[in-house]
Amino acid sequence: MSLDLWLSFTIATIALVALPGPTVMIVVSFALGRGRQTAWATVPGVVLGDFVAMTVSLLGAGAVLAASATLFTILKLVGAAYLFWLGFQLWRSPAGIPEAKASKDTGESRKMFLKTFTVTALNPKGIIFFVAFVPQFVDLAEPVFIQFAILEVTFVSLAAFNALLWALLANKLRNRIKSPKTQSIVSRISGSCLMAAGFLTAVIRRTA
């Protein structure tokens, strides 16, 4: 793979991951509610979720999903329901959890990791997108497997860095919000955004 091709992929990926989506929403929601320590759980969830989604796509499942309206609809509705459920949980959650307490609760960290992983990996549009996006940057004159590995590592690394930045930015906002009432409002807004993301996921159409 040439350096120019890799740089083109990197620039395109940066532009893509910077756009807020369900994954960014859940990372920000956890950081607003529990502080920057949540990044230790959510960022690995993003990494594993994107890795699984890309690997599944490149192994051919993404093409099958793109061709099957039934499979796409099933996965889409499952993902939408999960997003809506997470948003509802956040909407009715307490006004905030002390950061020190949250950082010591390994059970809570495990839940945040699993939720972030599920939201990231269980995205039919993302899987199909990888099928359409990644091959554009592959040189068929060179070993394809090595190129896929390079592109996957690049994408996952940039996605992880992006998630970390969003978590830190959300934590800064959290530090400015001291009132429990205001924190409760922020939690409800974040929960509403996740529920809206679930609704949008449910109504998206399969690309041809």
Rounded distance, CA 53 to CA 86, Å? 20
* Of 36 and 7, more confident: 7
Rounded distance, CA 71 to CA 43, Å? 28
> Domain locations in the chain?
23-203
- Residues 166-188 pLDDT 10s: 999 888 887 776 666 666 666 67
- Residues 70-121 pLDDT 10s: 766 776 677 677 667 777 776 776 555 444 454 456 678 888 899 899 888 8
What percent of the chain is helix, strand and coil (3-state, nearest 5)?
Answer: 85, 0, 15
